[in-house]
């Protein structure tokens, strides 16, 4: 089965720093997801927010330019987190200094991964990968995928959308 406009997207914090560890920074991403889904600019089928990166399987509204949308969501979340770092965590904020011509500070690594997903099998592989992220030994953030708060694994396990923005990819395949 051919799937249209599904993408696996990954963005990583500059220099792989574990700045997303505090919940308040993960919540900035969650709020951004909620906003964009609410405005019907985005559909999210899976996600995980890790200490230094996040993964999603999403569909961006076809009226939007994918690269512009991705840039804008990263720009907003990065600037929001950088503002908080400047106010509350000066040393960490200073460590994000890059002194480039177009910006002094940077939160996200350039060139995030955005990969089209062409089949149900590949969508399922990526969703399984996303949900397994928190339980791999390197991270050890939960015992079971559904136990990690900042992931869609619980949604697929219980059927309850605690975030208010998730959709089951199978519902889209059956549209």
What are the pLDDT digits (tens) for 110-163?
999 999 999 999 999 999 999 999 999 999 999 999 999 999 999 999 999 999
User: Could you tell me which of 73, 66, 78, 152 has the C-alpha nearest to residue 114?
Assistant: 66
Cα 150 → chain centroid: 10
pLDDT at 173: 75
pLDDT at 105: 96
pTM: 0.95
What are the pLDDT digits (tens) for 45-67?
999 999 999 999 999 999 999 89
User: Could you tell me which of 140, 141, 152, 134 has the C-alpha nearest to residue 43?
Assistant: 152
Per-residue DSSP letter, 146: G
Sign, Cα dihedral of 4, 36, 27, 17 = positive
DSSP conformation letters of 26-44: HHHHHHHHHHHHHTTSEEE
Enumerate residues 6+ apart whose C-beta is below 8 A from 132: 145
pLDDT at 1: 41
Neighbours of 65 (CB within 10 A): 10
Going from the C-alpha of 80 to that of each of 99, 146, 162, 166, the distances in angstroms are: 19, 28, 23, 23
CB-count burial class (<10 Å; 0-12, 13-18, 19+) for 40: exposed
Confidence band, pLDDT 50/70/90 cuts, at residue 175: low
CA–CA dist 161, 92 (Å, integer): 33
């Amino acid at each position: 089965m051919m799937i249209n406009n599904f993408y696996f997207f990954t963005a990583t914090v500059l220099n792989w720093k574990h700045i997303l560890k505090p919940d308040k920074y993960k919540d900035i991403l969650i709020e951004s997801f909620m906003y964009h889904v609410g405005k019907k600019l985005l559909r999210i089928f899976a996600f995980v927010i890790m200490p230094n990166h996040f993964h999603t399987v999403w569909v961006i509204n076809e009226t939007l330019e994918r690269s512009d949308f991705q840039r804008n969501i990263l720009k907003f979340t990065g600037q929001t987190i950088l503002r908080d770092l400047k106010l509350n965590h000066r040393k960490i904020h200073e460590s994000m200094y890059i002194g480039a011509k177009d910006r002094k500070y940077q939160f996200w690594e350039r060139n995030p991964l955005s990969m089209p997903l062409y089949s149900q099998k590949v969508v399922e592989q990526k969703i399984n990968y996303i949900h397994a992220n928190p339980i791999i030994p390197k991270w050890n953030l939960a015992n079971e995928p559904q136990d990690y708060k900042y992931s869609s694994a619980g949604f697929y396990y219980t059927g309850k959308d605690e975030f208010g923005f998730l959709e089951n990819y199978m519902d889209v395949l059956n549209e």
